Amino acid sequence: MNPSTDPNVLELLPAQGDAQQLFILLHGVGATADGLLPLAQFLQRQFPQAAFVLPQGFHAFDGGGAGRQWFSVMGVTETNRPARVAAALPALLTFVRDTQRRLGIGAAATALVGFSQGSILALEAIAQVDGLAGRVLAFAGRYAALPAQAPRLTTLHLFHGGADAVIPAAHAREAIEHLGALDGDATLDVAQGVGHEIHPALVEQALIRLTRHVPKRMWQEAMGAAAGSPAPSDAGSDR
């Protein structure tokens, strides 16, 4: 592990050469960046020329302990959640852009990977700035509010446990239907019997999505001579 100059950021960098891809991993509420190290290390073995950056939540967890948070969940409701997320986004957007600039990696080669509250931030960041990253991998997350438009420059991959009692999988299913209606490029994988966690089955599926899913925008570019040809549909699966 190569430490960042910022003590609140963990980094895994390529053993040799410059990084060609960037993964920014955002942890859940009350947790720390260390909790996502196993996921980062797994992905690093698959993408050895990628940089993995794990920031700590920008605020101390107001539930106590040493954990961090991106926004407060004290008294959170469906009504006030969007405003809390919106208030947290500017700092995250700045962090992502500064990290891309520092490592010399463009937005298209960047992936935002979130768990729970981190997924909420990742999804909402793209809803605000389409193309901030080429992909989002959102584990056990949801939208604070469903977007009015689907991103055109970012592919969204949603992963959820079918038995998640913290953020029910119904939110993910609602999101994939909504994005599909907006002609978005999004997939959903649900692991039946799995709760609120980054389960190995979902991690394996994330790897499949990263290596085999061709973004819709690339299909559309390749099929430019045949305008109107539909891109392959790969919206969702239950596993």
For residue 229, indicate whether it is catalytic: no
Give the span between the Cα atoms of 197 and 200, in whole angstroms. Answer: 9
Identify the pLDDT of residue 2: 44
- Among residues 27, 116, 160, 189, which one is catalytic? 116
Domains by residue range for the chain, with CATH: 9-238 (3.40.50.1820)
Give the span between the Cα atoms of 207 and 155, in whole angstroms. Answer: 14
Smallest Cα–Cα separation from 44: which of 20, 75, 80?
20
Identify the pLDDT of residue 235: 54
DSSP letters along the chain, please?
A: -PPPSSTTEEEE--SSS--SEEEEEE--TTB-GGGGHHHHHHHHHH-TTEEEEEEPPSEE-TTSSS-EESS--TT--TTTHHHHHHHHHHHHHHHHHHHHHHHT--GGGEEEEEETHHHHHHHHHHHHSTTSSSEEEEES---SS--SS--SS-EEEEEEETT-SSS-HHHHHHHHHHHHHTT--EEEEEETT--SS--HHHHHHHHHHHHHPPPHHHHHHHTGGGTTPPPPP--EEE-
Per-residue pLDDT of the chain (239 residues; tens, 9 = 90+): 444 568 889 999 999 999 999 999 999 999 999 999 999 999 999 999 999 999 999 999 998 888 999 999 999 999 999 999 999 999 999 999 999 999 999 999 999 999 999 999 999 999 999 999 999 999 999 999 999 999 999 999 999 999 999 999 999 999 999 999 999 999 999 999 999 999 999 999 999 999 999 887 776 666 664 555 555 545 555 54
- Among residues 160, 164, 171, 189, which one is catalytic? 164
Strand 21-26 versus strand 110-115 pairing type: parallel
- Among residues 160, 171, 196, 199, which one is catalytic? 196
Residue 147 CA: distances (Å) to CA of 114, 144, 180: 18, 9, 12
Identify the pLDDT of residue 219: 65
